[in-house]
Amino acid sequence: MADLEDRISESQKMGMQIVKESDDDRLMTLSVGPQHPGSGHFRFIVKLDGDYIVHCDPDPGYVHRGEEKMTEYRNFIQNIPHLERPVIHDSTNITYSYSLAVEELTGIEVPRRGQFIRAIASELNRQVYTLYWLAIYGIFLGHSTMFMWPTGDRELFIDLLEALTGARVTHAFNIPGGVRNDVPDGFKDRCLRQITYYEKRLKEYEDIFYNNPLVRQRTEGVGILTKEDAIRLGVTGSVLRASGVPYDIRKAEPYDVYNEIDFKVQYMKTADSFARAYVPFLDMRESCHILRQLLDKMPEAGEVRAKLQANPRGPPGEAYRRVESGRGALGYYIISDGTPKPYRVKISVGSFRNMLALPHLLVGAKMGDMPVIYWALNYWPVEADR
Amino acid sequence: MTSSTSSSPPSSSSSHSPSPSFPPKSHTPATTAAGFIKAIESGSKHLLIKRFTLRYPEQKLKFVGDGYQFDPKRAVGIAGLRGRHILYHDKCTGCQLCAITCEGIAEAIGMVRVDEQWKHNKKAIMPQIDYGKCVFCGLCVDACPFYALFMTNDYELASFTKEHLIYTPAQLAIKPKYSGDVEIKIDDHGASHHG
Ligand code: SF4
Ligand code: SF4
């Protein structure tokens, strides 16, 4: 190697700089997103040492829309259509907690039938959302049947919601004071028939996906989020329940008619990506039971919407209400100064809170496990950015 | 982190009693083969089942009613598809409430002058809707106190230019012909669309 050293010293004489290899050169920085179809308008920067992730830096905000600021310029009713934009696949749930908070501020009483209808719409929407999430999780794992099936079955729920609300995806159905319209004729029968069909399909999902040894090997033991970490990081929804914490807002703080419904909080203790993928599935199944009870207990007739004044307003004050959405607790904190427009609105979303677990889970994992861990967090980038 | 922990089967629990089919068994060599067979079986069954793909545009779905309507007296809507609007010229008073509502939503409604003479519409202004902006929320329908503005089943509004997306009061008055008659049939064999 004498030649080499000679050559180096020669070169240095001629003014060339030799940079010694440092430890940093081992690491490769990779930007996943922001337009990568898998990440969905969200970027995270990972540093890789070989195949292992040693650093992860989530960078949300690519689709920030200023929803909170926008609410300050619109009255309580006009806010509905734009507030559902952050998560259009779950648009009934995101306006649900908003309506609850506005009702608390303005002191509007929702008629009983209206409460049932909006709980039904919210459960149907939960199915739509979770099926969409599952479809993407399927394709993340390269399981294209699991993309096709949920997307197809989701269509049936969308048809059902279309009959109920008049829109396929952005329903604008919940409104302070109840729901926009009563259920159409024959809705109950149609809904029940579909739930029966759907429960059969869920069994097939389990056979082809959740009990599929390949999926099991891919997801089991990957990305462990212990109970303590889950609580410390403040995750919510299915991610929290997959870590062994049986916490569901529908049970913990029942809103509307949920305290009359008998259902179990679905949770698992393995705390891995499989558990996080399986808990939403269990939720869908539980949601079918909830839907049956809601349809059964719904009063046959009655008002569905309280009559509002033209520009509903209440005394100055504040309200915080939350609901269990497809991604966990979804809360609205609204301050009113007595005018028909809110003074300040803060939206607390499940997606953002679950994202905080991402660096924790990815550091130490293999790059190939990234999709498995990332999408199992039940994360919706647009909702996190608001 | 990535080492397999498959030795510990996933234990799932619920606050009361576990539902019958879970915890699903973990993959041991014996169940692996069975798991594959089951997965393939559940997928291949569907080769024989009719697909429920809707063959749009040859087939079109049937909707409930003639579109979303609103009853201002009872202050409640009537279920229906929220498609293109319909404006009843003999009822619209030009009160602009629809336009005021939409100002905070999509700014899709503009009030324009019409040539018609109506006793109830002295200013002779009526809404014109820009479907390049409208989000089909239907809150303008909720705002109209005179049963003048409803929505219809017409959702095929694509056009080659942006100008064609702006519907004048005269265009809004036309009742669309919608002939969707396909319904989803759900029975023991699965779901399918029936004309
Ligand atoms: S449906 Fe909504 S967005 Fe469209 S014109 Fe009416 S209020 Fe405006
Ligand atoms: S459509 Fe209704 S709300 Fe709009 S100007 Fe005419 S009467 Fe008024």
Taking an 8 Å cut-off on Cβ atoms, the answer to whether B61 and A369 are in contact is: no
State pTM to two decimals.
0.83
ipTM above 0.90, yes or no: no
* Number of Cβ atoms within 10 Å of the Cβ of A140: 19
Confidence of residue B1 (pLDDT cuts 50, 70, 90): very low
Bridge pairing between strands B183-187 and B190-194: antiparallel
Taking an 8 Å cut-off on Cβ atoms, the answer to whether A207 and B75 are in contact is: no
Strands (E), B76-163: 76-78, 85-87, 109-113, 125-130, 149-151
Q: What is the pLDDT of residue A305?
A: 85
Chain B's closest residue to A166, CA to CA, is B81
Question: What is the 3-state secondary structure of A105-171?
Answer: HHCCCCCHHHHHHHHHHHHHHHHHHHHHHHHHHHHHCCCCHHHHHHHHHHHHHHHHHHHHHCCCCCC
| Nearest one of A314, A350, A332, A301 to A90, comparing CA atoms | A350
Chain B's closest residue to A81, CA to CA, is B137
B173-195: average pLDDT: 76
Q: What is the pLDDT of residue B20?
A: 37
Cβ atoms of B192 and B185 within 8 Å: the answer is yes
Q: Which residue has the tokens 């899709």?
A: B108
All residues at 6 or more sequence positions from A273 whose CB lies less than 8 Å from its CB, including other chains: A219, A220, A222, A223, A369, A372, A373, A376
> Would you list the domain boundaries of chain B?
69-172
- Two tokens at A4? 């080499």
Cβ atoms of B91 and B146 within 8 Å: the answer is yes
Give me the helix-helix angle, A273-297 and A112-140, nearest 10°: 150
- The predicted-structure confidence for B34-68, as pLDDT tens digits, reads as follows 878 887 888 788 777 777 778 888 888 888 888 88
- Two tokens at A139? 């394709």
Residue A221 is nearest to which of B6, B81, B139, comparing CB atoms? B6
CA diameter of chain B: 84
Amino acid at A76: F
B17-41: average pLDDT: 59
Residues in chain B: 195
Q: Ligand 1: which residue has its CA nearest to atom 6?
A: B140
Q: Does ligand 2 come within 6 angstroms of the Cβ of B169?
A: no
Q: Which residue has the tokens 């891995």?
A: A272
Q: Which residues of A touch B104 (CB under 8 A)?
A: 73-75, 78
Taking an 8 Å cut-off on Cβ atoms, the answer to whether A269 and B12 are in contact is: yes
Q: What is the pLDDT of residue B13?
A: 40
What's the rounded Cα separation, in Å, for the pair B10 and A322?
31
Domains of chain A: 67-349 (1.10.645.10)
- The predicted-structure confidence for B142-169, as pLDDT tens digits, reads as follows 888 888 889 988 888 888 988 889 998 8
Q: What is the pLDDT of residue A18?
A: 57
CA diameter of chain A: 96
Taking an 8 Å cut-off on Cβ atoms, the answer to whether A217 and B135 are in contact is: no
Q: What is the pLDDT of residue A4?
A: 67
pLDDT at residue B183 above 70?
yes
Q: Does ligand 1 come within 6 angstroms of the Cβ of B143?
A: no
- Two tokens at B180? 């969707």
Taking an 8 Å cut-off on Cβ atoms, the answer to whether A80 and B139 are in contact is: yes
- What topology is assigned to B69-172 in CATH? Alpha-Beta Plaits (3.30.70)
Q: Does ligand 2 come within 6 angstroms of the Cβ of B127?
A: yes
Cβ atoms of A303 and A266 within 8 Å: the answer is no
Q: Which residue has the tokens 């705002």?
A: B143
- Two tokens at A218? 């891919």
Residue numbers in chain A where pLDDT is lower than 70: 1-2, 4, 8, 11, 14-25, 36-39
Q: What is the pLDDT of residue B2?
A: 38
Q: What is the pLDDT of residue A210?
A: 86
Q: What is the pLDDT of residue A333?
A: 92
Least distant ligand from the CA of B169: 2
- According to DSSP, the residues that pair with A328 across neighbouring strands are A325
Bridge pairing between strands B85-87 and B149-151: antiparallel
Q: What is the pLDDT of residue A53?
A: 85
Q: What is the pLDDT of residue A1?
A: 53
Secondary structure class of A308 (helix, strand, coil): coil
Chain A's closest residue to B74, CA to CA, is A307
Q: What is the pLDDT of residue A373?
A: 87
Residue B137 is nearest to which of A172, A216, A220, comparing CB atoms? A172
- The predicted-structure confidence for B105-114, as pLDDT tens digits, reads as follows 888 898 888 8
